[in-house]
Amino acid sequence: MNTIRITKDARPDPLFDDCPDCGFIAWGLCAQLTVRESAEFGKRIEHRRPRKNLEHLHRAGAVLTSLYIIRDGFMKSMVDGNNGRDQITGFLMPGDLIGMDAIATGRHQCSTIALKDSSVCGMAFADFEQLTRDIPALQQHFQQTLGCEIARDHGMMLLLGAMRAEERVAAFLLNLSRRFAARGLPEHHFCLPMTRQDIGNYLGLTLETVSRAFSHLADQQHIAIHGRDVEIRNAEALNKVVRSNH
């Protein structure tokens, strides 16, 4: 789930002078590097690569050249079901590491696309690999990040395999909310950066079903929605929707 807390207060590190809110530096800090290691790591980061809305960060099948962490913005990753069918595998927000789908083969399994104008920081994968070999703490943190992705995917399999439409939508909103909270952003009132179509694709539903689920949750006063603005009015009730069968 790659939840990395980035708050302005908790960032006395001079490394951030270069690029405030840099997710890569924050990620490195999580790895508990020494000052020396941290400097070595920081040197290799390529900061502030901007991406326009709808621009590809990478395409499925492409060789893995760099790992990225979103600095600002929002993206989606999708696998291609080689018959026009595709499946969004995740929505990515600031602090999330991008590129783990390519570790297995060296080629990306997913395409990753910006859902609005965004910026990312990156590191050449060759550099990254060398650093993980040289710095055990970094290696361990990277393995942990991969492990988090595996755990997240298993949760997603539970959602897709065992939940009803409204439960999926409620779980989706709560998940977004928690991730916003972990970044110090408002957790009860936020803007959905993706279309209903995207949400539906991600949750294994049609866009109409997503829309109806939103409307129904709003009828029950659990949320309020106006277009892409969401307010979570009763998180506990949403939790109940997720947990109680039918």
Say whether residue 236 binds a second copy (CB under 8 A): no
Contact pick of 10, 54, 62, 150 for a second copy (by CB under 8 A): 150
Identity of the residue, 108 or 168, whose beta carbon is nearer to DNA in the bound complex: 168
Contact pick of 7, 195, 220, 221 for DNA (by CB under 7 A): 195
Q: How many CA atoms lie within 13 A of 170 on its CB side?
A: 25
The stretches of the chain forming alpha helices (DSSP H) are: 23-30, 35-43, 125-134, 136-162, 165-182, 196-203, 207-219, 235-243
Stretch that binds DNA, among 35-43, 58-66, 176-184, 197-205 (CB under 7 A): 197-205
Stretch that binds a second copy, among 36-44, 46-54, 114-122, 141-149 (CB under 8 A): 141-149
How many residues of this chain interact with a second copy, rule: CB under 8 A? 49
Residue whose token pair is 């997240």: 152
Stretch that binds DNA, among 63-71, 119-127, 190-198, 232-240 (CB under 7 A): 190-198
Say whether residue 46 binds a second copy (CB under 8 A): no
CA 223 to CA 232: how far, in whole Å?
5
- What is the enclosing helix (H) or strand (E) of 230? strand 229-232
How many residues of this chain interact with DNA, rule: CB under 7 A? 23
Amino acid at 239: N
CA 151 to CA 90: how far, in whole Å?
13
Binding site for DNA (CB under 7 A): 164-166, 192, 195-197, 204-212, 214-215, 225-228, 246
